[in-house]
Amino acid sequence: MIEKLISGAQTGADRAALDAALELGIPCGGWVPKGRLSEDGIIPAHYPCLIETPDSAVEMRTEWNIRDSDATLILSHGRLDGGSLYTRIRAEELGKPWLHIDFLKTGPEQAPAMARSWLDIVQPQVLNIAGPRASKDPQIYDSTARFLRQLLKPS
């Protein structure tokens, strides 16, 4: 089913997705802004297969990751806003399947089950993972990494 995880490599949910993929041996990558820029400076070199967009605008990175994936999974603690809301809107506009999991509303056991059901329906080969940056939600990295380890661990 899932052959590759992609994200924009921003701090928070994006980096958690890349780290979980690397830990689980799942190919990963994605589009990042020109210069490999993120809120904490330059995206570390140990993240493989990241491709710089021709522009440093984060909107281009977001749109291209949606465009080049089969579906987008957006993770948050609470309502979507900022870049996460933009991700949902662009996925809708591009006609791409998306699912938002709010960890405040969906418990640790229910979240992976909900995502598995959705993935069974959508059957993505390339899955884009999105969510807030660490400065907006300091807990999103840990929640996302734990969730993806449960969701994607080999059975």
Q: Domains for the chain: give ranges and CATH numbers.
A: 4-152 (3.40.50.450)
Question: SS3 for 141?
Answer: helix
What is the per-residue pLDDT for 119? 98
CA atoms within 13 A on the CB side of 51: 13
Q: What is the mean pLDDT of the chain?
A: 96
Q: Is 15 helix (H, G, I), strand (E, B) or coil?
A: helix
Is 77 within 8 Å of 143 (Cβ atoms)? yes
* pLDDT level of residue 48 (50, 70, 90 thresholds): confident
User: Per-residue pLDDT averaged across 113-134, rounded?
Assistant: 98
**Structure token digits, residue 41:** 């400076």
User: Does residue 154 register a pLDDT over 90?
Assistant: no
Assign 16 to helix, strand or coil.
helix
Please report where in the chains the tokens 């990042």 appear, as a residue.
32
Strand partners, 148: none
Mean pLDDT within 49-71: 97
pLDDT for res 109: 81
Average pLDDT (94-100) is 98
What band does 127 get if pLDDT is binned at 50, 70 and 90?
Answer: very high
Q: To which H or E segment does residue 67 belong?
A: helix 58-67
